Amino acid sequence: MIRKSKYTNEYKRGKSKNPIPFPHIVVLEQKKVYFKIESGWPASLSVKPIMREHFPDDFTGIIASVETWEELMKGLDPNRKID
């Protein structure tokens, strides 16, 4: 079940077509979403509302460390088309 918050329209008003304001990688096999949040607190508090709004309840949101993010980026296909 995907729940929408009253802030959804504010995310979509930005210049980007992506409503999530942080770089993220979705790993469907593990049902995990890794976020790259460099600014720390209070930006890290937004992970839970973003997960509630944009992903099913069985997905987990994780703030990736620098090492984890680099490993995830190495595993991405550079020729993959992003919508």
Classify residue 1: in a domain, yes or no: no
pLDDT for residue 41: 84
- As a whole number of angstroms, the distance between CA 46 and CA 7 comes to 11
Our count of domains for the chain comes to 1
pLDDT for residue 82: 52
Classify residue 83: in a domain, yes or no: no
Better-scored residue on pLDDT, 67 or 21: 67
What value does the mean pLDDT take over residues 13-20?
58
**Helix/strand/coil (H, E, C) string of the chain?**
CCCCCCCHHHHHCCCCCCCCCCCEEEECCCCEEEECCCCCCCHHHHHHHHHHHHCCCCCEEEECCHHHHHHHHHCCCCCCCCC
Give strand pairing partners of 63. 35
Classify residue 62: in a domain, yes or no: yes
pLDDT for residue 4: 59
Residue at token pair 């987990």: 60
pLDDT for residue 59: 94
Classify residue 81: in a domain, yes or no: no
Classify residue 32: in a domain, yes or no: yes
Classify residue 41: in a domain, yes or no: yes
Residue 56 CA neighbour count, 13 Å, CB half: 7
Residues 24-83: tens digit of each pLDDT? 999 899 999 999 988 878 888 888 888 888 888 899 999 999 898 888 888 777 766 554
Range of the domain at 44: 8-74
Length of the chain in residues, anyone? 83
